[in-house]
Amino acid sequence: MNSPSIFDLFFIDIETVPVSPAYDQLPEEWKSLWSDKISKTMPENSTPEESWLQRAGIFAEFGKVVCISTGYFLLHENGQLELRIKSIFGDDEKELLQEFIMMSQQLLKHKKYFEFCGHNIREFDIPYLCRRMLINGLDLPPYLFIQGAKPWEVRMVDTLQWWKFGDYKNFISLNLLAHVLNIPTSKTDIDGSKVQEVYYADHDLPRIAAYCQRDVVVVANIILRFKNMPILDDASVTIVN
């Protein structure tokens, strides 16, 4: 198992919502495209309206990013480990993605061998970001141009993959993994299924960002457990505005 230094990790977590709050607000062509997309996986007796609310946000073709939380470790002279977190959130997805690219490029100047780190980022967060960048007309930075790349060429640490230990049939949620490793969960206020409701009904982006940040802390603590290091306490986490 590839085990990079914790100081080369760039933690990320994203929150996504459907591009439209309701199926009936879609143009007719997009209604048809959605029905085609989910026709083989939609549960029996489920309507397109119901499936839209339940699943549209997880597909980059029908969703958008509303929050990206990032984090990295610092070690102070007194030996104190700190996790520094910054979130980007808003309604303008293109602007949000541009800021994320700039943040990543800035990190690359200081950490030549940085690797993205998160839970299920290999199959969700990173591909989703790449697809939404292209949809928004943005150039993919070189470190995200991963189409056809070999596994060892992708700069990515995925705690889901680490937990599999080569067992590709196994899937574990971040919440369950936190529980089995005795790490405080992030699901204290909302969970992923509630994000679109909080966004469209309440438009409470700071609440979404706070939830996203808690996921970053959980992933960081999972990495520390894999390294057999003490997990972070609240005083060791800094939120940067």
> For the chain, what is the largest distance between any 2 Cα atoms, rounded to a whole number of angstroms?
61
Residue 234: alpha-carbon gap to chain centroid: 21
* Of residues 61, 91, 67, the one with CA closest to residue 209: 67
Per-residue exposure over 97-112, b if at least 16 CB sit within 10 Å of its own CB, e if not = beebbebbeeeeeeee
For residue 151, the model assigns a pLDDT of: 65
Interstrand relation of 156-158 and 63-75 (parallel, antiparallel or unpaired): unpaired
In degrees and rounded to multiples of 5, residue 63 shows phi and psi of: -125, 180
Q: How far is Cα 189 from Cα 213, in angstroms, rounded to an integer?
A: 12
**E strand or H helix at 181:** none
For residue 152, the model assigns a pLDDT of: 66
Domain regions of the chain by residue span? 6-19+62-240
Q: At what angle do helices 93-110 and 126-135 cross, to 10 degrees?
A: 120
Q: Torsion-angle region of residue 44: left (phi > 0), alpha (psi -120 to 50) or beta?
A: beta
C-beta atoms surrounding 226 within 10 Å: 16
Q: What is the CA radius of gyration of the chain?
A: 18
Helices (H), 47-204: 48-55, 93-110, 126-135, 159-164, 174-180, 195-197
Q: Give the class (CATH, top level) of 6-19+62-240.
A: alpha beta
Q: How far is Cα 120 from Cα 13, in angstroms, rounded to an integer?
A: 10
Q: How many CA atoms lie within 13 A of 20 on its CB side?
A: 14
pTM of the model: 0.93
For residue 42, the model assigns a pLDDT of: 75
**pLDDT averaged per 10 residues, the chain (length 241):** 82 97 94 89 81 93 97 92 97 97 89 90 96 96 81 83 87 94 82 89 95 96 96 95 87
- Cα distances from 105 to residues 113, 123, 149, in angstroms, run 12, 22, 20
